[in-house]
Structure 1
């Protein structure tokens, strides 16, 4: 019995080695084998592929993919005051890869889990910031690191104000979250791109906000 294959893993999943075996959308790629490497929480797979080259010959290739499910993110903005509401939290992967303290400024975000994208981001926004947003504006759904991570992130935007504040926010303590809120003037936020703001999804949302969003001129 193997966890995640024929025995439920920590999240109750089985058959995790079957994902990808039935792919048929690209005639130049044939999945030959899928090996489950890890499933302690998210899923690491090693997949063997046959790939047809430009000259018609076939080669065998191996790819490792990390599957953490899809996610969603949102830019909360106040168009009248020209502010955005971001979060600051510790990110160990950034810390271990040269970030001085691992504390990143980000737009609220989280995994979908069993919810649809809109329900998930409304949940995450309230948990992290304490603001209950209405129907958010859907922007795009984008693969953020397609070389190795399967995740597709759904991007949203929504206004916030004193009237939308329903709690203190700060994240879910039981999940180890300790989140601080940071309100920035949009021009200040833009000026921090590449220095104080190093998170890709947040940079994309800030640029959208001034190019075609609520702060576009």
Structure 2
């Protein structure tokens, strides 16, 4: 009798099965043939090892293996006040950056979170309310990006939205039940850009959105 395998043929702690099936039916690239998908770990997120045959540009075939970390897709938003030329960011402890050289792990970044079954716009409205206490009105899609395509499957939906003193209707701070302890940090737009130059803002999504706003003139007072 075969042993039951959580996440494969019996539900794991999050009720998921078939986690070893993801990617087996890919057919968009004729130069890639998936041969096997191995479930390495399935706690909150999922780690897989996929074996596939790959046809190189010279026509020869090689067998490759890649590990992919699947945490689901996410959304983020740059909140900006066009009248006061400010942006509203979060500051929270991020252990992965702390263990990899950040001085204290207290990371400045745009509000963000996983979709968790919502569409991207609904997800980021939820996250802005939870993390910063902001009720978002107008929401502008900016771009969708993969930030670590060598190993992480996550696609990040990036938005921008105006905010005001009046739209800060909640207390923010994140969800205590999820271990969140989030500080709202309001900066002038110029200060935020200077902090990118100094390295005080080192988060990729935040840098991209700040530079997008600078290129578009989103906070220019003469617009």
| Class of the TM-score when normalised by the shorter of the 2 chains | over 0.9
CA deviation map 1:79-129 (0-9, x unaligned):
110000000000000000011110000000000001000000000000000
Is 1:63 matched up with 2:81? Answer: no
Alignment of 1:93-112 (within 5 A): 93-112=96-115
CA distance in 2, matches of 1:47, 1:66: 11
Of residues 30, 34, 45, the one that matches 1:42 is 45
Of residues 111, 123, 127, the one that matches 1:124 is 127
Is 1:210 matched up with 2:214? Answer: yes
CA distance in 2, matches of 1:68, 1:213: 33
SS of alignment partner, residue 14 of structure 1: coil
User: TM-score if structure 1 supplies the norm length?
Assistant: 0.98
SS of alignment partner, residue 196 of structure 2: coil
Are the equivalent residues in 1 in contact too, given 2:49–2:68 (CA < 8 A)?
Answer: yes
Is 1:24 matched up with 2:27? Answer: yes
CA distance in 1, matches of 2:207, 2:128: 18
Cα deviation, residue 211, structure 1 = 0.7
Extract unaligned runs of 5+ from structure 1.
none
Extract unaligned runs of 5+ from structure 2.
none
Q: Which runs of 4+ in 1 moved over 4 A?
A: none
Is 1:141 matched up with 2:144? Answer: yes
Identify the residue that residue 181 of structure 2 maps to in structure 1: 178
* Count of residue pairs the alignment pairs up: 217
